Every structure is written in C-alpha cells, then in structure tokens.
Structure 1
C-alpha cells in the first residue's frame, strides 16, 4: 500500500504545529470550565456538530466538498480507525479532565504524540538520529518531573485520580491511532475533506447520547467556553491535519508536546479570575524544571534531524 509523502514545506509545517500547540493548550482549561455544567457526551457532540457545519459550509462556498469518486477511494477500515480514535479520545479526555485537573490531563496525554512519533518511525519509514533519541529521553524525564505534583495528589484522592489518569492514558493511545490513520487518509482526500467526514461521522455517532437542550441552560462563562471549544476543534485539528501534509509526523508529534506549557501558564493566570470554575493547581520547582525539560527535549527532536542536501 502506498504511503503518504510530505510536501517538504517545513516552515509552514512548524507554524501550523505551533498554532495547534496554542489552541490545544487552552482547550483543556476551557473544557474544565464547561464540565462544571455539562456532560462529556453533549460537549463532544456540540464540538463535532458545530465544526462539521462550519467546515462544510466553507467547503461548499468554495466548491470543494468531497465528491463520491474521491470518497470511494478512501479505505473504510482506516477511516473507521480514525473516527473511532478521535471520538474516543474526545470522550476519554473530557472525563479525565473532570476527574483530575487541566494541567494533569494535558501532561498525561503527551504520551499520545510520543506514541505517534515512535509508530511513524516504523510505518512511515521516518528516522531519528542520536540527537533526537537524546531529545526523547529528555522529554520523557521532563514529563515525569512536570507531573510530580499531580502524582502526589493520588495520595489524597487515590480513586478519583487513578480512574481519571487511566482514562487519559487510554485516550492518548487511541489518539495515536487516529493521528496515524488520518495521515494515511490524506492519500485520497485533502485534509479539510478528511476532517469534514470525521466531524460529521462522529457527530452522528454521539447524537443518541447527547442532550442538546442543556446547552441552552448554561451560564455565561461555560457557554463562552463551549463555543470556544467548538471553534478550537475546527481550527486546531485543521492546523494539525495541514501540518501533517507538509512535515513529518514524528516532528509534528514532537512540537505539539509543548501544549502543557501553554496550559500551565494560562491556568496560573486564569485561576485568579475564575477560581470557582478553575481551582488552583500549583507546581513546585521540580514541576517547572520538568516543563523546561519538555521544551528542550521537544526542540531537540523536531530540529535535530539530519538535513538532506
């Protein structure tokens, strides 16, 4: 089976990856706020539905909706893996955020791009040199230090955090399958068309479990956060999908591990304004040291590759 090849526009791939980092870093905080008043299935259904409608309208206005001839070329098993992985990741991540914290959830899910990056070395024949493997080691150590304070929370609320973290790990694993499946779907469809099919399929799948009427009962801040989450889905995953067109999956996966740092900074600021929706989640110096290690390790992985002449 032929494999997807990147365009080689590495700077554009990096820019799109950084946009994804910013939006995903803020997403965990917005979801934590929304979950105070809305269930995970309704939140996820709303995000997919709004994103699907907006993206479908945009593609229709530009006469770029996928044709039946294009859709027939798509591998159904790979598409089902992508839909299932994305939908499960959204649900599991939401439940995990609700049971732990935005910082904790964002850190735990960073094993997803690590898994995706490792798998891409085999599936897409990408390669790491010794510098990049050193970056992987630094990144892993940084993630362990960064989550130090959250691990300590297991002592005081063991059941809640163990259950929440287990779901976050499972969600990270299925996301890696989604990411790899989406990259392969780009063989037959543009990234926007792939996302449109994924959003509408996931929305239909979740519709029986959603309660749309509850959206109308939300207070101002959760409603604003929910709308942000819907647009975040459209823009962030659009940027992520486009990044995979221009840059190797292993490098994209390395850059998006920076998302916890955005979450950490934003949480520290917003906690002072909305403590009733976003309880404080402080870090010790070990946590901040881990954050620096994550940044450095990610940069080594993404920028340490050998350049072809």
Structure 2
C-alpha cells in the first residue's frame, strides 16, 4: 500500500506539472519505428494510474514534454531513460486496463515552420508575441504515425480523431492536444446519456489545426487568427447515431438542424456547471452543403459564447 500511495503521489505531481500538454500511440511493445517513435510496454503492472484518469475517469493517456518526463522518477524506473530522451508512446497497465504516457517532440524541433516534411507553420506568439499565458507557444508536439494513430487516449477517443485535416499522405504528423479537452468531451457524452438522449458517439469534425492550416480560413466570417484549435484545447463536434456521419436528431422532432446543436450546447452548459475547471467556449454553427450543424467546445479557462440562442 505504501508503494502504491507513493507512486500515486508522484503521478499526481506529474498531473499538476503538465497542465499544458498533448496525446499519442500504439499499446504494443516493440522496437522503435522508422519515425523514431518508441512503442514500449511497462515490464510490470503500473500502480497509481487511477489518479490520472480525469474527472470523467475515462482518460487513458498523459502527455509529457521531455523535461517533465525526466523529472518523474517513477517513469524512468519503469521505462528507462528513453522516456525522457525520445518521443514515444509508453504503455502502462493496472486493474483498469491500458494507460499511455506519451513523450512529445519539443517545440524547438520545429524548424522553419516544419518538423521533417510535415508543415506546421508559425504560432501567433512567434509572430507578434503572446497576448496572455493562454496564447503562449505549446511545449511540444505529439508525434503521430500510421502505426500509433489509433492509440486510445480515452475510452471513446483516439489520437487520429484530433489530427489536422490536411497533408493526408505525410507521416509522421504532429499534434497539439490537452487532456482537459478530452476529459470534457467524455463528460459531455455522459451528460447527454444522463439526459436520456441517445449519443452513440461524439464525432470530432475539427480538432487541432496547425497554424498554417488555420490561416487558410482566417477572414471575415471565418476562423480567428488566434483560434483555440491551434492550442489543442478546442474541438468542433456533433453526435452520430447510426451509420451516417452527420449530426443526429437529438430533440426528436424528426429534423436535423441548429435545434439539435442547441441540445448539445445545453449539455455542455451542464458539464461546466458541475466542473467549473473545464469552463471554456461554446459556439453553435449551422449546417452547410458540406456538413451538418455542430458545436465548438473548448477549455480556454473562461466563459465565451457565440451563436447560442
């Protein structure tokens, strides 16, 4: 019991230290892939993971900048020095199942707007300085390969769900993501089901956007130049029930329109009331020829609302 408690305390310290982090990986053990991403399994059951599963109790990953991984002795004890020296997915286990520690590539690995052949662009703070702490450059990037893209980061979400929707043939890709966003999305599914609304899955239409991708839509009526999507704490989502990849009829009126998006937004309001630490933005968007109605959700740390009638 003492060992489990001490490990849990160390990992809670890790949780506090990595408030500004992101996701990745395959759970299988094996040699490093060509991309340099190591897929490593812990040599024994890993205690103390329950403290890292978020308020939803459904998180299955913790994202770490290399220097933060180096400062946590229990990680080096289980995975060796590589956990702090190379980007990778490190699989642990306890009675609740697999959990992943994912070491990121440091921000400094981005050179001239790229890491390798993957185009990222330049974050707002690189161009004009950060207007507040919330808009600082991210600490690093999750390296996502075709082999680790399906790594579960929570019970219902995987790394690939949050990737920027471009450069389809380029691997590895790089991702910025924060655990509180994933936690909030899991709580949203729970809230909808608790309201008696069918919610088979929550589809992420847009998660992380690289700055170069985000810039393509900046302008009147378009994306904000400092969009939260660039910081890994925002997602545009809708509920999918059945085979069609489209917002479902949530209010039961036989149609799919912004009324259904409002049902989703009202569930987000309930989640934020219960968990004020996950407060953020909520925006409702109408359907177009390309997509159905959807809701923007983020965890920026302060309340923001638009398009919510």
TM-score by length of 2: 0.25
Larger RCO (CA within 8 A; separation ≥ 6): 1
Which structure has the highest strand share of the two?
Answer: 2
